[in-house]
Structures are given as C-alpha cells and as structure tokens.
A and B are shown apart, each in its own frame.
Chain A
Amino acid sequence: MVPENPVFVLALGLCSTLAATTKVENAFYMSLIVGITTIVTSVICSFLRSVIPHRFRLISYILIIVTTVITAEQLLKIIYPEIAKELGAYVGLVVTNCIVMGRMEAYASSHSTTESFCDALGVSLGYSMVLMSISTIREILGKGTIWNLNVMPDDYICCKVFSSPPGAFIVFALFLFVINWLRSFGRKN
C-alpha cells in the first residue's frame, strides 16, 4: 500500500489523480469507483485464471474491466446523479486507468482469489489515500473549504491557482518531493 503506492512510486493512473481532485467530495467518489472496480476485476480475473487462454488474456481483461465499469457507471447515475454529472467522462475513463489493468496482469493472474482480493484492497486504499490528501490540500487552498464546509477564516482570499489545472501539477510535484524525502529517512535507518 505505501512502499508500492501505485500513483507515486509506479506513476500509474495519473489522469484521474489529477482530474478528480479539485474537491474532496469528487475525489472520494472517484476513489470509491476505482477501488470497487479494481477489487471486482481482480477477483473475477483470479477466479477465471485457469480458464482464460494466455494468448487472449489482454482482450479478456479489457472485457471484464469494461463490463464492471459500465455497471458502476449505471449504478452511480441512479444513486448519485449530480456526482455522475460532475465526474462526467472520467468515470468511463476508469477503463483506461492503468492501475486496474496493472493489478490484473501483475498479481491477480497468478494468485488465488483471497490473495488477489487483499492485494486489490491494499492498492485501492493506497490510491484513495493519495487522492484524498491531494484533494484536501487543493480544496483548502483553492476554495477554503473541506467537503463544502468552510474551514478558513472569512477574510481568507482563495488562491484560485490551486483549483485550476496548473495547481494539480504543482501539488502533485510537492507530494512527490515530500514522499521521496521521507523514504530517504527510512533508507538511512
């Protein structure tokens, strides 16, 4: 979850990390969707691993992922229509999120169902942790709120750059810096 964090260490799934983190609320639902998709696809994949022929494995993985994402998208549209509208095309883009595919190829295709469930759970927790922390910083600095609640004093002037696209890159780079710095301490001890 932490040492092999998909976003920072392996640089997978950057698109949704940057796009869905303007607000904590969006980030929460986005990580929920990605997490559920990763877990479900990993479990299905490891369950079917003896049936899927090796030559056609990529196309079968894509079909499993697409089916899961379509189900998740339809469910989201029914339960939280506003969130679905706000996330827009990014829900569909979970299909091309490398984390989901990477876990299936690297882990679930060669491990038992329980093991791959735990692995997928860990990876998606790591992913949501990153998403939540980036979005918290961006929402506090950009809008002065957390989950639409005011946390900053009234005379706080919002720093618009953090809720606009360039801010995402800056916050991400800073996170990378801090995490590598912390990791270097771990290595010394």
Chain B
Amino acid sequence: MDFNQIIFIFQILFTAAVAENIALYYFLGTCPLISVSNNLRTSFQMGITVTFVMLISSSINFIVYNWILVPLELEYLQLLFFVLSIAAITQFLELFLDRYFHEIYASFGIFLPLIAVNCAILGVSLFIVLREYDFVTSVVYSLGSGLGWLLVICLIASLRRRVDTSSISIYLGERGITMLIASIIAMAFYGLTTAMKGLI
C-alpha cells in the first residue's frame, strides 16, 4: 500500500467521522442519541456496540449486495436483505456473546435488540450502495461512521451532566436542551471541517 492510498483512507475516515457525521449531518440514529444519552457510561457502551455492529453488518451487506443480488438482478430487494441480515447479525452476536464472553454480554447485551432498529446502521449500508464504494472503502467508511457516532453520543452525554445541575426552562425540557446541545456540536463540527478544508 503506497502513501497516496493511506492518505485516501484517512480522508474517507475523517469525512465519515467528522465532516459528514452520520448523526449530525445525515441525522441518522437521532432517536437513541436523544433518549439514551443521559449517562456517559451507557452512552459509551452503546456507541461501541453500534460501531461494532455497523462494521460487521456493512461488510456482510456489501458481500450480499455485490455477490448475490447484483448477479441475480434483484437490486430492488436490497432493503429486505439488509434488514434481515442486520436482524440476523444482532441476534447471532447476542447468542455468541452470551455463550463465550459473558462479561461483555452482561455489559452491552441489552443494547443489541435496540440496535436492530437503529437507522444509522441501515443507513450506512444504503449509502455504501448508493455511492458505489469498493470493499476497502466501505469498511473504512463504516468504521468512521461508527466512531463519529460514538464521539457525538459521548459529547452529548458529558454535556448533559452539566445540564442536570443547572436550571433550564421547564418548557424546553430534557429533549429540547439535548436538541440545542446537538445543534451547537453540529456547528462546531461544521466549523472544524471548514478550517480543515482551508488547511488542505
């Protein structure tokens, strides 16, 4: 692998994690972002689980799409296959962790069923098909997206700890203040991306 390829991979990683962050740019996986982010520890575990499942499911979906659906000309069934494979992966992972790594299962096993309906995971698989990435790029892209999601949920969870101790308007409520936090983080990411573009 030469230098240019490494640069290219880093570029994809940066774009997926920061510049076009899956949560703040495409608004995927916002439901758990708003509802689960009240504790830093659980948010971190949730983020790790999402990253892991995203990585596995998008590589399997890539293989399913390019090796099974395209030769059979069944591209329009992609949604059905993606949803089924994500459900199967989460189910399988749950059983596997429960059997062999019980400690890990005890710490994030409860999040696995929730992840089956996380739109970020399905979204990444669909984006990979839409943009016609090759295998390496799609693996890097899904890794970057997962890490970006992890970063955002941890940031929001840490900021919400400050919110808990301060008095906010009762009309805004927990959800509203989380939305405002998300918008401020989104602006910060936006600014960072612009600054990086200036450097490159």
Contact = CB atoms under 8 A, between A and B. Distances in A.
Nearest to A12: B31
Interface of A, secondary structure class, is helix
Interface residues of A, number: 41
B176 A176 contact: yes
B190 interface: yes
Given A92-B122, A166-B186, A173 B31 contact: no
Interface stretch (B9-17, B19-27, B100-108): B19-27
B166 interface: no
Given A177-B172, A181-B171, A18 B83 contact: no
A173 B179 contact: yes
Nearest to B177: A173
A112 interface: no
Contacts of A158: none
Interface residues of B, number: 41
Nearest to B30: A14
A96 B123 CA distance: 9
B61 to A, nearest CB: 12
Contact of B171 (A11, A66, A169, A180): A180
Given A15-B28, A166-B190, A169-B180, 18 more contacts: A11-B35, A13-B31, A14-B31, A18-B27, A62-B87, A66-B80, A70-B76, A70-B77, A161-B187, A164-B190, A165-B186, A166-B24, A173-B177, A176-B173, A176-B176, A176-B179, A177-B176, A180-B173
Interface of B: 24-31, 34-35, 76-80, 83, 87, 117-119, 122-123, 126-127, 130, 169-173, 175-177, 179-180, 182-184, 186-187, 190
Interface of A: 11-16, 18-19, 59, 62-63, 66-67, 69-70, 73-74, 88-89, 92-93, 95-98, 101, 161, 164-170, 172-173, 176-177, 180-181, 184
